[in-house]
Amino acid sequence: MDTAEISKAEPVSVSLTQDADKSLDDELQQLLQTLPKEEGWSGSSFYLYQGFWCSARLKAVVSFQTHFPASDSNVIVASLPKCGTTWLKTLTFSTLYRNQLARDENPLRTSTPHRLVRQLEYDVYVNNPCPNLENMCVYKPWLFATHVPYASLPTSIKDSNCKIVCICRIETPWIRSFLFGFSSASFETKTKSCFPEMKLLTSSVMESHEDLKEDISCEVKQLAMFLGVPFTEDEEKQGVVEEIATICSFENLKELEVNKKGLFIPGIPNESYFRKGKVGDWRNYFFTPSMVERLEKLIHQKLDASGLAFELSSKTSKA
């Protein structure tokens, strides 16, 4: 498909009737009266909904939960904000669709990753409870992204065999990136819980931001295997894995004109998704050794049953 056609692909309105939409609004207003409420950094309200703090986009979250028609072939990129979401979107897009793309015409060169891999609750369902998903994901199988915790994903996703690609990040650099990225973008949010409940599925794969930085080619091959599109021997000999790693590298994405200006998701400039992309840069900011120690203990407590382990102290000593 032509790159220009992808860039112009927008939702086709398949609106609910006015009465049905009003009914949803009325139900949400009643729901909001029952939820714990806090004020965000910029004065907007946040509500504790199903165990996580949700902004005024709660209507989009409920619409996503209610109407998303998951199928076994779907792929969902799941993450906390500022954990490497943009990078994982590009890697998953380029790997999953590589046989549908010309090798020298990857749409990432002219379209922001967030236009190519649409965010379900911050984009797809914001203006329409029943959007035309075919127009939002022009390649097949469908590939979308979400920040919604597993427990609050639509039943259609949890009951299907669709693939969920997760990315995690050591919590201290995540906090730093979170504060930098969203404050600079004037994004209204409030960090109430750094460690949501984590549940790994048989149909999910967990990527680590730090592992991706350390050996991206190996991680890309594992990702392709999980997605059901393993690299052939010929592809590996032709350097396809390395090409994807290069196209999707932080350095390349940051220098693309499409990622330097404008915005796709309202309130968040495209450039705010690309800061430094360095492992360990968090040590140059306001974290003291005692703060790191406290965070490390909390990480072990929360992730003890997940099989994941992050060591901050040893990494700090190398600084």
Q: How far apart are CA 6 and CA 113, in angstroms?
A: 12
Model confidence at 230: pLDDT above 90: yes
Lowest mean pLDDT of 35-44, 197-206, 283-292, name the range.
197-206
Find, among 15, 266, 6, the residue nearest to 135 by Cα: 6
Look at residue 274 in the predicted model and tell me its pLDDT: 60
Give the active site residues.
147
Q: How far apart are CA 68 and CA 176, in angstroms?
A: 33
What are the structure tokens assigned to 248, written together? 């999707």
> How would residue 205 be classed by pLDDT, with cut points 50, 70 and 90?
low
CA distances from 310 to 34, 172, 286, 295 (A): 37, 11, 20, 11
- In three-state secondary structure terms, 191 is coil
What are the structure tokens assigned to 257, written together? 């004109």
Model confidence at 238: pLDDT above 80: yes
Q: Are 46 and 192 in contact (CB under 8 A)?
A: yes
Look at residue 91 in the predicted model and tell me its pLDDT: 94
Region 67-90: mean pLDDT is: 89
Model confidence at 10: pLDDT above 70: no
pLDDT in tens, 40-53: 665 677 888 998 88
Region 263-270: mean pLDDT is: 67
Radius of gyration of the chain (CA): 20
Model confidence at 31: pLDDT above 80: yes
> How would residue 124 be classed by pLDDT, with cut points 50, 70 and 90?
very high
pLDDT in tens, 274-289: 655 455 555 555 566 7
Region for residue 51 given its phi and psi (left: phi exceeds 0; alpha: psi -120 to 50; beta: otherwise): left
How large a percentage of the chain has pLDDT more than 90? 28
Region 55-63: mean pLDDT is: 83
Mean pLDDT (the chain, rounded): 74
Model confidence at 183: pLDDT above 50: no
Q: What is the DSSP-derived secondary structure letter of residue 259?
A: G
Lowest mean pLDDT of 9-18, 31-40, 161-170, 258-267, name the range.
9-18
Model confidence at 16: pLDDT above 70: no
Residues 6+ apart with CB under 8 A from 317: none
Q: Are 287 and 172 in contact (CB under 8 A)?
A: yes
How large a percentage of the chain has pLDDT more than 70? 62
